[in-house]
Structure 1
């Protein structure tokens, strides 16, 4: 390495990039890092990166080409690799890993707590995750976690918690918590157990510190608590936590014994994962899709949804074709088909998005479903009436510029069809997610391709029926 290159490396810095876009100021740092990787200058580069913040190293890694990122990651020692891995998004962790980095990942995972190691293993392909797990010191604990189904409370729960007998006084409880402070890390809730070790109540840390002198945990504990089994789906855990405003959720076995807790960090991660999954499903993309997917995986994930949309569009085209005589009599009707289909699709998507969001957050109560649907009906009726009136006015205005046969009846037919289409589409969009949820199917699947296609068909059918009755009749 030349003297100039050494000087450049010594001055190499990374400016923390915002979430929105990379910074041009870091381009020179990237150029020099790439150059040092190509020339095999491992020692100087590793020494340099040890002085960087792990977040900065992570940001730099994801801007390198994959081959270079893997090579650099192999060069990094366990520290700071563990900190860098902790900052990486899950999909980037899996991409960085290849056969040659397995040994390094074993060293990294061995330095983590079992729950953190299990969470990271979930991001690896099954065969590699199994190979890694078998070589870790906490193999039994990790194997126990992996025995639970994916996306279950048992898979994500932390096994470090504060659980104390109900007979303990406040002073005794505080002393016990202080004694275990290094092992416990963060404490939000104290779990209270009976003589048999079963969970009987919870005490928030603030309430514990403000309790009267001489009181016991049993005196101040909250008996109206929510606990979940290890097999509970993580989405249900998140829904319960939001509904009851819980920071942590206890996990119990079949006998009521406390076996773990879902932490605030895990609840935040679940919320992010579920939001991402719903967004992909609503966009007509497989929930397993990732940015680094191969062409084959992209095709497999998207083609079924596109074909479903093609079937819906074909049915809509068939409906249009069945009204060939009406189109022959009045070709002007063809101009209104895109308007009708667009309004139907948009109204359906809006209603379904609200329904899916309500179901996901638990704010859509079973007792309110009828009332919610009635409100959707009234809102859709109003929106359809306003859109219909505007379309009727535009039709009459157009008749002053271009010749249109019987513009009054055409305006009446198109406005009424828009009113009916908007109302029907909104009701379909609001109802289908609720029905799917009752059937145990992810309601997000109702949006996107399926609702848009079904509403296109209904919209075209309603439009031609109205046109036949009020314009061509």
Structure 2
């Protein structure tokens, strides 16, 4: 692509913003052009092209390229555009692209920045990458303080840029201060108000600030009903509080009440995404730290414990079945209903636990509402179990006209009652365990994985054989 016509063709290459997870065919030509430039080693031409693109579009391009091409392109990008692109990439993609040479590049960039700006950029990186960069910048105290906060806390994700003014300041002075800080902070939704000692006393929304007369003291329009969190507050709790109070930003204060940062709307969105991804992995019986680019050893280390836990549960269920060997020998037909019972127990438990985890995560499950919720789960489980049991019992009776069954009425009764009891008990276990785990400080999403499935399998098999022994073989 060295001719004038080729250059003109390259200038015409553009990218159409793609909806989430929906690649557009019209971008295929741009993908091909970029791939050709990468293969040909035409770095300068490609960089000139991408400088005209929005960072979000460059991010989408990177995720559509093959990994080796994406890495090369990322290394080619100049420092400033590459940082903007990193800010738009999801953590799993960013961790793939980060290599030693790239970390050194960002180290050089951060080393020359104002500490506040460096901290803001570090907040855009995945925690592991940010920690690595902080270790290389440990001579800068203000940046190093970020590493002093535990993972997944407000201190780790908070922005340290904000507008804080004393109560005696007028709205006119506040607006002037906002204009002066606009380039540094970029998006200002709230002005924080402090007392003479610098402690946070309230907030003023920008809209109200602009509508008030210019000589109005902030103390006259301040909202003193302000929710704050400490730097060591878990980020999931910060998100829960923000949703409950419908807050766009959450102020972070020190133990003395001084404002030290704020959790921005962008960080709240990222926390929601991170927590949802972690819960999804835990619910699937996978470590919350698992990533698509994990090595084989990491995959084994993060999945094997869950598989072994499932193996223990399955072994216990098998032991229960083995203990009823005589009953199975006496009535082999019982073996046909074991998978049905285990499946119903697992499904009922997963449904109830999923709803409980969702209620805990969104804050919809209040402490005073727990008993009422559990009673509703019990009533619904009884109805579901009765209906499922009635259907299964009816199928057994219908099958007895085609296949010879011994005492079909008693078999129908035993299977019906077992489904009723199994569904009810599994639903109650599924609804209760996440609440208990949350109360003792364990992520309730862990309950939906191996624990609920294994425990309900064991309970399901045990209840089935108890019912079969009592009502069919007794």
The range that moved more, 434-443 or 19-28, is 19-28
Secondary structure of the structure 2 residue equivalent to 1:180: helix
Alignment correspondent of 1:163: 164
In the TM superposition, 1:94-243 aligns within 5 A as 94-106=95-107, 109=110, 113-125=117-129, 128-130=132-134, 132-134=136-138, 139-211=140-212, 215-243=216-244
**What's the Cα RMSD here?**
2.3
Provide the C-alpha distance between the structure 2 equivalents of 1:417 and 1:207, rounded to a whole number of angstroms: 63
Change (3 A) 1:435 1:61: same
Q: 1:308: Cα distance to partner?
A: 0.7
Provide the C-alpha distance between the structure 1 equivalents of 2:312 and 2:8, rounded to a whole number of angstroms: 63
The range that moved more, 447-456 or 84-93, is 84-93
Secondary structure of the structure 2 residue equivalent to 1:363: coil
In the TM superposition, 1:18-57 aligns within 5 A as 18-57=19-58
Equivalent residues, number = 470
Q: 1:412: Cα distance to partner?
A: 0.8
| Kept in 2: contact 1:102–1:132 (CA 8 A) | no
Alignment correspondent of 1:337: 338
Relative to the length of structure 1, the TM-score reads 0.92
Alignment correspondent of 1:378: 379
Q: Which runs of 4+ in 1 moved over 6 A?
A: none
Alignment correspondent of 2:86: 85
Change (3 A) 1:229 1:128: closer
| Kept in 2: contact 1:115–1:157 (CA 8 A) | no
Provide the C-alpha distance between the structure 2 equivalents of 1:339 and 1:130, rounded to a whole number of angstroms: 54
Provide the C-alpha distance between the structure 1 equivalents of 2:185 and 2:342, rounded to a whole number of angstroms: 58
The range that moved more, 124-133 or 383-392, is 124-133
Relative to the length of structure 2, the TM-score reads 0.92
Alignment correspondent of 1:316: 317
Secondary structure of the structure 2 residue equivalent to 1:259: strand
The range that moved more, 458-467 or 224-233, is 224-233
Secondary structure of the structure 1 residue equivalent to 2:202: strand
In the TM superposition, 1:253-268 aligns within 5 A as 253-268=254-269
- The CA deviation string for residues 294-335 of structure 1, in whole angstroms up to 9 with x for no partner, is 111111111111111111111111111111111111111111
Query: Which blocks of at least 5 consecutive residues in structure 2 are unaligned?
Result: none
Change (3 A) 1:66 1:147: same
Provide the C-alpha distance between the structure 2 equivalents of 1:285 and 1:470, rounded to a whole number of angstroms: 40
Change (3 A) 1:107 1:53: farther
Provide the C-alpha distance between the structure 2 equivalents of 1:408 and 1:326, rounded to a whole number of angstroms: 18
Provide the C-alpha distance between the structure 2 equivalents of 1:404 and 1:260, rounded to a whole number of angstroms: 72
Provide the C-alpha distance between the structure 1 equivalents of 2:439 and 2:27, rounded to a whole number of angstroms: 51
Q: 1:427: Cα distance to partner?
A: 0.6
